[in-house]
């Protein structure tokens, strides 16, 4: 791990690609079956709760077929800000920022939308594709 702060709990079957690009803040709980492909930086803030089967993929293959055949991969950072709760079986793709205080409901696929790459602060998300749910 690049940075592993205090009071971090990581349940078994945690897997990562390199580990050297992952930073985890204080008071973070990562439940069973987390996979992080950290070809680029992955930063998890403070006071983050993660339910089982999270996938964070800070990498993507080339879009051009010839690039894919040649093995091209592109890394783009993923940021999870402070006070976030991520529910079960969520997938977070390259280039996404989960804003402070967000709640990401189960079975979400969080991906870069249009020109924005952030999920708003203090907003619950639900459904697939993700939609903001009023409090």
Catalytic residues: 61
Q: Which two tokens stand for residue 126?
A: 């639900």
CA distances from 95 to 31, 40, 87, 117, 119 (A): 23, 9, 20, 6, 11
Are the C-beta atoms of 95 and 107 separated by less than 8 Å? no
């Amino acid at each position: 791990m690049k940075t592993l702060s205090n009071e971090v709990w990581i349940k078994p079957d945690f897997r990562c690609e390199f580990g050297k690009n992952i930073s985890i803040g204080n008071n973070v709980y990562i439940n069973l079956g987390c996979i992080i492909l950290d070809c680029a930086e992955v930063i998890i803030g403070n006071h983050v709760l993660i339910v089982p089967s999270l996938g964070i993929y800070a990498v993507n293959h080339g879009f051009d077929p010839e690039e894919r055949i040649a093995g091209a991969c592109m890394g783009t950072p993923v940021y999870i800000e402070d006070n976030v709760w991520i529910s079960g079986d969520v997938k977070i793709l390259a280039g996404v920022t989960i804003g402070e205080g967000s709640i990401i409901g189960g079975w979400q696929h969080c991906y870069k939308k249009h020109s924005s790459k952030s999920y708003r602060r203090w907003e619950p998300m639900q459904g697939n594709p993700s939609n903001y749910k009023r409090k």
